[in-house]
Structure 1
Amino acid sequence: MLVEEIMRTEVITLKANDTIKEAVHLLQVNRIRHIPIVDEEHHVVGIVSDRDVRDASPSILLKNHDTRELDNELHTIMSSPVITVHPLDFVEEIAKVFYDKEIACLPVVNHGRLVGVVTEKDMLYTFIQLTGTNVQSSLIEVKVPDIPGIIPEVTQIFGRRKVNIASILVYPYKKDTQYKILVFRVQTMNPMPLIQDLRQAGYALLWPNNIPEPKL
């Protein structure tokens, strides 16, 4: 999946010489947490978060708080330079950027100009879709040898039952590199026939693992 498929293209922006007061207003009215700061050519020169604004605003707990601080320009509090991504970057790869850099919003830039943004909320929703948890389904975890061709070998069992697979995830099995875990989300509310077939084929089920073997 590409960034252009999940990015928001209607982006609220401000200029570096706009005021903190203007940012506070836009953040509250639009219920957003980040505002990219752009120049006249729509190049990204900074980004301001709701936290930046809170830290720069006078405390309401003080009796005589000075609201003139809100008249300061955004270049005094914005983060710069800004990490950006491209519309044709893969979503799975920019997830690592979110994690490594501990950020919550990435401006999307094409030919140097801002064309969209991706937030951590967008990423979370995307992974919900990728894992299939947004559809009615059952979860099956299978421990398999880490050898070429093992995934199509296992999925043949699902195919024979004509069960649709919503998603497949692959995880390492603890620290044992000889095995891996295949996590299937299948569109059936009765996974019992599949579970029995997998066991009969010699696969170890990690989930569900409390369903008894069928009686002969």
Structure 2
Amino acid sequence: MLVEEIMNTNVITLPPTATIAEAAKQLQENRIRHIPIIDSKTQVIGIVSDRDVRDASPSIFYQNSKENILQNEIQTIMSHPVITVHPLDFVEEVAGIFYDEEFACVPVVRDNKLVGIVTEKDMLYTLIHITGTNVQSSHIEVKVPHKPGILPEVASVFGKRKANIISVLVYPYKNDPNYKVLVFRIQTMNPTPVIDDLRKAGFELMWPNNITGPKS
């Protein structure tokens, strides 16, 4: 999945000469947490978060200086330089940036111009859809040898039952490089027949590991 498929193109921005008070107003009225700061060419030169604005705002015990501080230009508190991503970047790679840099959002730039923004909420929403947890389904985990061709071999068991696979994920099995775990979500509320077929085919189930069908 590409960034352009999940990014928000309706981005609230401000010039660097806007005041902190203006930023606070935009954050509150639009219920957002970040504002990219752009120049006259729509190039991203900074970013301001709601936390930046809160930290810059004076304490309620200093009412006399409040208005003066809030009239300072936003460029005095913005973070820069800004890490950006491209619309054709893969969402999985951008997720790594969020994790490594502990970001809550990243601007999306094409030809050095701002075209969108991706937030941590967008990433979480996308993860929910990629994993299929938003669809009523059953969850099955199968431990398999780490070898070529194993995925279609396991998937063929689902195919014989005409089970509709919602999503498939693959992750390592603990610290053992000889095995991996295949995580399937199938569109059925009764996975017992498929589970029995997987066991009969010799596959080890990690989840569910205690469900068996009726004995014949």
1:210 CA drift (Å): 1.6
1:211 CA drift (Å): 1.4
1:63 CA drift (Å): 5.6
Could you say which residue in structure 2 is the equivalent of 1:152?
152
* Contact persistence 1:58–1:65 (CA under 8 A): no
Against the structure 1 CA distance between its residues 37 and 63, is the aligned structure 2 distance closer, same or farther, given a 3 Å change threshold?
closer
1:66 CA drift (Å): 2.0
Could you say which residue in structure 2 is the equivalent of 1:33?
33
Partner AA of 1:158 in structure 2? F
Could you say which residue in structure 2 is the equivalent of 1:43?
43
Q: Which structure 2 residues correspond to residues 165-204 of structure 1 after superposition, within 5 A?
A: 165-204=165-204
Could you say which residue in structure 2 is the equivalent of 1:74?
74
* Contact persistence 2:196–2:212 (CA under 8 A): no
Q: Secondary structure at the match of 1:80?
A: coil
Q: Secondary structure at the match of 2:182?
A: strand
1:65 CA drift (Å): 5.3
Unaligned runs of 5+ in 2: none
Q: C-alpha separation between the residues in 2 aligned to 1:38 and 1:64?
A: 31
Q: Secondary structure at the match of 1:118?
A: strand
Against the structure 1 CA distance between its residues 213 and 193, is the aligned structure 2 distance closer, same or farther, given a 3 Å change threshold?
closer
1:212 CA drift (Å): 3.8
Partner AA of 1:59 in structure 2? S
Unaligned runs of 5+ in 1: none
Aligned residues between the structures: 215
Which digits, 9 at most, give the CA deviation of each residue in 1:4-29, with x for residues without a partner? Answer: 11101011000111100000000000
Q: C-alpha separation between the residues in 2 aligned to 1:118 and 1:104?
A: 9
Question: Percent of counterpart pairs with the same letter?
Answer: 68
* Contact persistence 2:195–2:212 (CA under 8 A): no
Q: C-alpha separation between the residues in 2 aligned to 1:203 and 1:70?
A: 64
Partner AA of 1:134 in structure 2? N
Could you say which residue in structure 2 is the equivalent of 1:85?
85
Normalization by structure 2: what TM-score?
0.97
Q: C-alpha separation between the residues in 1 aligned to 2:213 and 2:187?
A: 22
Could you say which residue in structure 1 is the equivalent of 2:161?
161
Normalization by structure 1: what TM-score?
0.97
Q: Which structure 2 residues correspond to residues 201-216 of structure 1 after superposition, within 5 A?
A: 201-212=201-212, 214-216=214-216
Q: C-alpha separation between the residues in 1 aligned to 2:69 and 2:62?
A: 15
Q: Secondary structure at the match of 1:69?
A: helix
Q: Secondary structure at the match of 1:92?
A: helix
Could you say which residue in structure 1 is the equivalent of 2:136?
136
Which digits, 9 at most, give the CA deviation of each residue in 1:34-75, with x for residues without a partner? Answer: 000000010000000000000000122x16452111111111
Q: C-alpha separation between the residues in 1 aligned to 2:106 and 2:51?
A: 16
Q: C-alpha separation between the residues in 1 aligned to 2:7 and 2:98?
A: 14
Alignment of 1:96 with 2:84, yes or no, is no
Q: Secondary structure at the match of 1:66?
A: helix
* Contact persistence 1:131–1:169 (CA under 8 A): yes
